[in-house]
Chains A and B, each alone.
Chain A
Amino acid sequence: MDNRTTVRSQPDRAVKTNPQTDFLTGFVGLMTYWLSGELLVGLLGINLPGAVAGMLLLLVVSLIRKRVAPAVSQASQGLLSNLSLLYVPAGVGIIDHARLLTDHGLGMLVTLVLSTAVTLAVTALTLKFLLARRREDS
């Protein structure tokens, strides 16, 4: 507690830390951004996932404040460091698509191979061209 009060007494940009509750504070913060995003999307009637709207809200707030709240940053790191775990339940859902895989497996794979190659090539060549042109200009 002492530690918190001394930190708080510093003017401006005081960073309050409390290891016991920081993760939860940050987690509640992320959940609040998500729910706000859902609310915003519902109110505006736009076809955007609420969580993505929440991400944009957090980004805008961070850009305005020029920093991310330490608790939010900590909770984010906790979630993102094991991000792959979070899509395992959805990944297991492939079990319900056995029929689709036998019927269209090859077509799906070839589609992904070609599309990935096109995306890589178009992005890289566009950016390379733009940067080269800019270098010529200057």
Chain B
Amino acid sequence: MNALTDNPALWLTLTIAAYLIAVYIHRRNGHSAHTHPLLLSVMMLVPLLLASHTSYARYMESARFIHLLLAPATVALAVPLFANIAHMRTMLRPLLIALVVGGTAGIASALLFGKLFGLPRDVLVSFSPKSVTTPIAMALAEKLGGNASLAAAAVLVTGILGAMGAERLLHWLRVRDEAVQGFAIGLASHGVGTTRALHISHKAGAFSGLAMSLNGIFTSLCLPALLTIWPL
């Protein structure tokens, strides 16, 4: 048994296997947000860790090989952004203003409501980048005194909420322009929302992807400064 649990390949293999099962279930459920592969994978792996009395640190010794790939994947986000940036040409100024206003509202509202509900400081820091794509949010949380796992959880929940509720909310606000819908969904709920926006239309999906990338950059640049002046 030790030969197996001491092998660094064990949790690496189980993580990829759990992910593949999760993707299969996600696909069978029509890619709906609440069967997101991350959520399902975690729900499969946590009981395995608990049952085998494996600590998270021990698990990470094996799984860190996957974790390491997050950084080059973050760099890779420049490729879809480059592809979508052409959509900005015609409405550069309105999009950038909406980015700054919406991006700031995303951070500030998380900090304000979090404080209101008495969340501890490290949770507030980890939640503040909750609207941006997971690799960026995790890197920011880690760098600014939060926790990468909490950030990943907050980002995932935000994405699922955005994917499930955004269309209803936008309809209620009488926002009918697909470009505006897509941009708001991508800015507020990153890649999970973008997957949903692609179901509205190709145009909404493109603006959603654009907003997701732009907010990742905006939040990275302004969050460190904002947190130093914000009374946490």
Write the residues of chain A forming the contact surface with B, with a CB cutoff of 8 angstroms: 27, 30-31, 33-34, 37, 47-52, 54-56, 58-59, 62-63, 68, 72-73, 75-77, 79-80, 82-97, 100, 104, 107-128, 130-131, 134
A112: chain B residues at CB < 8 Å are: 110, 127, 130, 154, 157-158, 161
Q: A84-B19, A113-B161 are in contact. Are A95 and B78 (CB under 8 A)?
A: no
Contact yes or no, B153 A30, CB < 8 A: no
Contact yes or no, A108 B175, CB < 8 A: no
Write the residues of chain B forming the contact surface with A, with a CB cutoff of 8 angstroms: 15-16, 18-19, 23, 36-39, 41-42, 45-46, 49-50, 56, 59-60, 63-64, 66-67, 69-82, 85, 91, 93-95, 97-98, 101-102, 105-106, 109-110, 113-114, 116-120, 123, 127, 130-131, 134-136, 138-140, 142-144, 147-150, 152-154, 156-158, 161-162, 165-166, 169-170, 173, 175, 177, 179-181, 183-185, 187-189, 191, 211, 216-217, 220-221, 224
Q: A48-B220, A119-B102 are in contact. Are A68 and B82 (CB under 8 A)?
A: yes
Contact yes or no, B72 A27, CB < 8 A: yes
A111: chain B residues at CB < 8 Å are: 110, 113-114, 116-117, 119, 127
Contact yes or no, B189 A116, CB < 8 A: yes
Bound together, the chains give a CA A76 to CA B175 distance in angstroms of 34
Contact of B185 (CB < 8 Å), options: A30, A107, A120: A120
Instruction: Report the number of A-B residue pairs with Cβ-Cβ less than 8 Å.
Output: 301
Contact of B138 (CB < 8 Å), options: A79, A88, A90: A90
A45 to B: closest C-beta gap in Å: 12
Contact yes or no, A109 B221, CB < 8 A: no
Q: A56-B217, A116-B161, A127-B95 are in contact. Are A79 and B69 (CB under 8 A)?
A: yes
A86: chain B residues at CB < 8 Å are: 66-67, 69-70, 73, 135
- With A31-B72, A75-B72, A119-B105 known, 5 other A-B pairs at CB within 8 A are A84-B23, A88-B63, A90-B67, A111-B114, A121-B173
Contact yes or no, A128 B46, CB < 8 A: no
Contact yes or no, A88 B15, CB < 8 A: yes
